[in-house]
Structure 1
Amino acid sequence: MEKLKNFINGKAVDSTSGETSSLINPSTGAAYATAPKSNAADVDAAFSAASDAFVGWRDSTPSQRQRALLKIADAIEDRQSEIIEIESRNTGKPISLTTSEEVPPMVDQIRFFAGAARNLEGKSAGEYMPGMTSMIRREPIGVIGQVTPWNYPMMMAVWKWAPAIAAGNTVVLKPSDTTPASTVWMANVMSEFLPAGVFNVVCGERETGRSVVEHKRPDMVSITGSVGAGIQVAQSAATQLKRVHLELGGKAPVVVFADADLPAAAEAIAIAGYFNAGQDCTAATRVIVQESVYDDFVALLTEQAKVIAIGAPDEDVFLGPVNNANQLARVAGFLERVPSHATV
């Protein structure tokens, strides 16, 4: 069985506790790997490495940071077959869609932030008061603690670390406990192009994430998660005056009016609802339809649902399994709570 490790200060290391959790392949329901259950000592070590690395990385030039990110993007692109296989096995995502819809934009996003590193904007220096010159100087924030979700593990990791590192910050990232594999892989690839300690990964469960967020060292914490988790992070950060970046859950509605192209709307909404097994912050989870076309639209959307290709990741399918047992129970709960007037 594969054994994942944390990545701290440029090295793959076990948790100091020696404890691990099993990673489940959603397509088979079988455990295929173990990941560390990181504790406070592991989180301390990661933040210590990031803090030490920040001293040098903050003084790197935009061109140096840009070159590093461009090399990382090239390396991931060159080895994309590896990360696609890892991501699919860890999430159950269809290989074809991961190849076409996730890797290209993810690599492009790294390159975007590489370019952004050299194009910071701000007001010009000037004399706004007699005898005084005012200017704005942009500096890295410092050490950033980050927590990513399980629905887009590799892409959400990129959305966290790429802008932070491009701006001269260092990072400690805690991936979801069910999907850490692609993030650990990225850390190993990135280590060839970054100084030790600039990017660190600690695996673990909810307590590990709490330790990352509540640790005294990070100057900023960033999470993608539920509204409840965001509230807790904001409350914790307030006591230490940390900066926060919160990307929280939503309930995306779609409105269909009577003059819409109903077949086109049904097709688009089905794609929006079922892409990534509906595990998306912008998934079409509610459809509000004008009453005069309600029955017609329900019929069209039903037909679209019937033709969605479902199957294993290595098949030509659109819809694979949900990510984990908790998510499966949540989806099943919607059906169990269907009101009596509804038809399933």
Structure 2
Amino acid sequence: METYDALLASITPTSGPTRTVLDPATGDPVGEAPVHTLEDLELAVGAAQAAQPAWAALGHDARSAALLKAADAVERSAEELARLLSREQGKPLNGPNARFEVGACAAWLRTTATTELKPETVVDDGETYAELHYKPIGVVGAIGPWNWPMMITIWQIAPALRMGNTVVVKPSKMTPLSVLALVKVLNEELPGGVLNIISGDREVGARLAEHPAVGKIMFTGSTAAGRAIIKSSADTVKRLTLELGGNDAGIVLPDADPKAIAEGLFWGAFINTGQTCAALKRLYVHDDIYDAVCDELTNVAKTMPMGNGLDENNVLGPLQNKAQYDIVAQLVEAARVSGARILLGGDPDPDQPGYFYPTTLVADIDNDNPLVAEEQFGPALPIIRYSTVDEAVAHANALEVGLGASVWSSDPAAAREVAARIQAGTVWINKHGAVDPRVPFGGAKQSGYGLEFGVEGLKALGVPQVING
């Protein structure tokens, strides 16, 4: 285990171009990240290609053992990784934030390593015998986002490595340090060349997506960026797993208990200060309990401290970057001007350092208001009235995205009936955004395609092969 300073020093480049990464809570420098070039990318892909045959030849058991050791390495450096993540991304150490994210990295590694994927007998009728196997793809490119940089990187690389592929990681230029540190820690237990990282600008990511030696791209990010990856990957017919933008709806049925669900609603919407693809971003509440839900949610939100992530008391942090801050501020101001009622927040302090936007709840807002129709990706939740369940379901399904959704009710059976009508990859009951490494996860409509996690996630990192006879 290294100290925080030693870990940061170990990923600080000693030559070549660099970019200073700033703390979004203070504006202070966190560290220097390398700005790798296209030539560096070629070296990384070449190393992955060279290492892949031997890695695949080890077999599932040996690769799983290596991933379990990698999980141990993450836990040895957990506090140092969490501190670096907090400083770079902004999320607090406590709550479902930095320490939670690092812990999830170890948990996902262990679950991925121990999930069984056996050959499947497709037909065995005495005349025909056919088995379905999954073979390694080769080299996988993993392009990650800035909101959950460590955890989503693990979501991508753990199944890729388990299935016998080697990986080239390209982190967001907003949060390269935490991913560089994570890869450095993982590589303490992995063979050389199996896991490689390139920290570069957009042209490096674009080249990775089109590189002829890369057999699959895993990408988490915006729908617009996903479309670009689809186009750039087409010439080499790459396999793709795309987890793209969402604007998740939650529907509160009239039999729900406002007080009982208030904290779940809060964390469904405001986990990671709202910077989560599968966060609750528009909440539909029945007329009968609308005011009570607004009151109870406001009461909960008032108790959640926001501030510098290194302060152990805080559970909400800043937005990660100025561009995202401006999007949230503009959408809330447009809602205010339209006549929507601000229940809480909406009043950032212009003299406060960092990209802090206060926890904001907006009521009595039209369904076509931009704060509802566009993904805000920050700490502002619009709460929309509805009169009939048919109306709420129609609103939930009206957008072109469909990553997640939720239904809140005292009657789970009734909630499941409503859930089945919603066009989303996952619909949660009385919770929102609760992902599990054993349960498949993926989007519908323009929120992407392909499944992650569990057995289906492993299959997505392999090439199916039928042995017939």
TM-score normalised by length of structure 1: 0.90
Aligned to 1:25: 23
Give the structure 1 partner of residue 325 of structure 2.
328
Aligned-partner Cα distance in 2 for 1:134–1:342: 61
Q: Which deviations, in whole Å up to 9, do the C-alpha atoms of 1:53-104 show, x marking residues without a partner?
A: 1121111122211111111111111221111111111111111234653233
Mark the CA change 1:192 to 1:271 in structure 2 (over 3 Å): closer, same or farther. closer
Q: Deviations over 1:102-161 (max 9, x none)?
A: 233321110111113xx223322866685x754333211110011000111111111111
Q: 2:111 matched to which residue of 1?
A: 112
Match of 1:9 in 2: none
The equivalent residue for 2:236 is 240
Q: Which residue of 1 aligns with 2:350?
A: none
Question: CA 1:4–1:277 in 2, change beyond 3 Å: closer, same or farther?
Answer: farther
How far apart, in 1, do the equivalents of 2:253 and 2:134 lie?
47
- Structure 2 residue 250 is matched with structure 1 residue 254: yes
Question: Cα distance 1:174–1:87, how it changes in 2: closer, same or farther (>3 A)?
Answer: same
Show the counterpart of 1:285.
281
Say whether the 8 Å CA contact 1:220–1:244 is kept in structure 2.
Answer: yes
| Aligned partners of 1:308 and 1:318 also within 8 Å | yes
- Which of the numbers 192, 203, 206 marks the counterpart of 1:207? 203
Residue 191 of structure 1 aligns with which residue? 187
SS at match of 2:280: coil
The aligned amino acid for 2:319 is V
Specify the alignment match of 1:313 in structure 2: 309
Aligned letter for 1:285? K
- Residue 120 of structure 2 aligns to a residue in which SS? coil
- The equivalent residue for 2:340 is 342
C-alpha distance in 2, partners of 1:318/1:78?
Answer: 24
Q: In structure 1, how many angstroms separate the alpha carbons of the residues matched to 2:134 and 2:119? A: 8
Matching residue's letter, 1:249: G
Q: Per the alignment, in what secondary structure is the counterpart of residue 140 of structure 2?
A: strand
For 1:122, which of 119, 122, 144 is the aligned residue? 119
Residue 266 of structure 1, CA deviation: 2.4
1:28 CA displacement: 0.8
Name the Cα RMSD after superposition: 2.2
SS at match of 1:163: helix
Alignment of 1:79-118 (within 5 A): 79-97=77-95, 98=97, 101-116=100-115
> Does structure 2 conserve the Cα–Cα contact (< 8 Å) formed by 1:4 and 1:184?
no
| Offset at residue 41 of structure 1 (A) | 0.9
Partner residue of 2:266 out of 264, 270, 277: 270
Cα shift at 1:32? 2.3
Aligned mates of 1:295, 1:321 — CA distance in 2 = 29
Q: 1:170-227 CA distances to partner (integer Å, 9 max, x unpaired)? A: 0001011111112211222222322211000000222221121121210011100111
User: Which residue in the other structure is 2:52 paired with?
Assistant: 54
Q: Aligned pair in 2 of structure 1 residues 124, 13: CA closer, same or farther (>3 Å)?
A: farther
Q: CA deviation at 1:301?
A: 2.2
Per-residue deviation, 1:5? 5.1
Distance in 1, Cα, partners of 2:267 & 2:182: 29
* Matched-pair contact (CA < 8 Å) for 2:82–2:99: no
Task: Evaluate the alpha carbon distance shift between residue 333 and residue 4 of structure 1 in structure 2; reply closer, same or farther with a 3 A threshold.
Answer: farther
Unaligned runs of 5+ in 2: 343-469
CA distance in 1, matches of 2:251, 2:218: 32
Post-superposition offset of 1:314: 2.5
* Structure 1 alignment gaps of length 5 or more: 7-11
Tell me the CA shift for residue 304 of structure 1. Answer: 2.5
Q: Secondary structure at the match of 1:27?
A: coil
- Residues of 1 paired with 2:338 and 2:272: CA distance? 29
Equivalent residues, number: 333
Letter in 2 for 1:279: Q
Amino acid at match of 2:314: V
**TM-score where L is the length of structure 2:** 0.67
Which amino acid counterpart does residue 105 of structure 2 have in structure 1?
Answer: M
Q: In the alignment, what sits opposite 1:173?
A: 169
Tell me what 2:297 maps to: 301
Cα distance between partner residues in 2 of 1:188 and 1:209: 20
3-state SS in 1 of match to 2:146: coil
Select between 274-283 and 303-312 the one with higher mean Cα deviation. 303-312
Amino acid of the residue matched to residue 310 of structure 1? M
Q: Which amino acid aligns with 1:228?
A: A
Change (3 A) 1:57 1:245: same
Partner Cα separation in structure 1 for residue 333 and residue 36 of structure 2: 36
Structure 2 contact 209–217 (Cα < 8 Å) conserved: yes
Pair 13,267 (structure 1): closer, same or farther in 2 beyond 3 Å? same
- 8 Å contact 2:69–2:189 — kept in the other structure? yes
Deviations along 1:286-342, one digit per CA (max 9) or x if unpaired, are 011112322232233223222221122122112111111111111112122214221
Distance in 2 of aligned mates of 1:81 and 1:292: 46
Contact 2:120–2:131, Cα closer than 8 Å, also in 1 = yes
Task: Point out the more displaced range, 32-41 or 82-91.
Answer: 32-41
What amino acid maps onto 1:81 in structure 2? E
| Aligned residue type for 1:110 | L
> Does the CA-based 8 Å contact 2:246-2:277 persist in structure 1?
yes
Does the 8 Å CA contact 1:223/1:247 hold for their aligned counterparts? yes
Greater fraction helix: 1
Instruction: Give the corresponding residue for 2:133.
Output: 137
Closer/same/farther in 2, CA of residues 133 and 259 from structure 1, 3 Å limit: closer
**SS of corresponding position for 2:134:** coil
